Amino acid sequence: MTFIFEVLLYLASGSFYWWWTQNLAFFGLAPNFIFAAALSAAILAGPVKAVAWGFFLGLYADMLGVSVLGGYALTYSVMAYAVYVVKRHFDMDSFFSQLVAALSLSWLSMLFYQCLGLVFLGLRPAGIKIFLAEPFLNALAVPVVFQVFYRLKRRLDIL
């Protein structure tokens, strides 16, 4: 049953991101809810499940884009592993640590993804606007998504 809920949550996360970008994007900017979901899952779930969530959410992000399949999957998988390592030393449940993690990991993820793009597709730099603004939007979105995931975890025993 929890597996079904997790699948639904996964689809809901992707659909919500899609809906937001379709309707509430502001100057072409929107929080990356897939990133926020991956980070929240990485904080809340055990290591294997966290990496799996990162991989599949990354795959979803890959499917939405026109870049090569697997770029975001690898990025978010690595991010989930990094969070697993970091959360053993830091309290990732607090608002401030989530804010800092979201900000730093957003940039790191972008840079990592840019590197992958550089290696596998040639140079495809992201827009400077997205590079500068999106991490801040993600930093705002992550605590909210984390709270949603946290409540769902407590209620439905998922993640």
Residues in touch with another protein (CB under 8 A):
10-12, 14-15, 18-19, 22-24, 46-48, 51-52, 54-56, 58-60, 62-64, 68-71, 73-74, 77-78, 80-81, 84, 116, 120
Least distance from C-beta 119 to another protein, angstroms?
Answer: 8
Least distance from C-beta 150 to another protein, angstroms?
Answer: 21
Closest by CA position to 153, among listed 41, 7, 34, 4? 41
- Pick the closer one to another protein by CB: 15 or 104: 15
- Pick the closer one to another protein by CB: 25 or 132: 25
**Tokens 């730099």 map to which residue?**
125
Q: Distance from first CA to last CA of the chain, Å, rounded?
A: 12
Least distance from C-beta 77 to another protein, angstroms?
Answer: 4
- Pick the closer one to another protein by CB: 23 or 128: 23
Least distance from C-beta 44 to another protein, angstroms?
Answer: 15
- Pick the closer one to another protein by CB: 10 or 131: 10
- Pick the closer one to another protein by CB: 81 or 107: 81
Exposed (0-12), middle (13-18) or buried (19+): which is 51, by Cβ within 10 Å? Answer: buried
Q: Work out the widest C-alpha separation in the chain, in whole angstroms.
A: 46
Least distance from C-beta 1 to another protein, angstroms?
Answer: 19
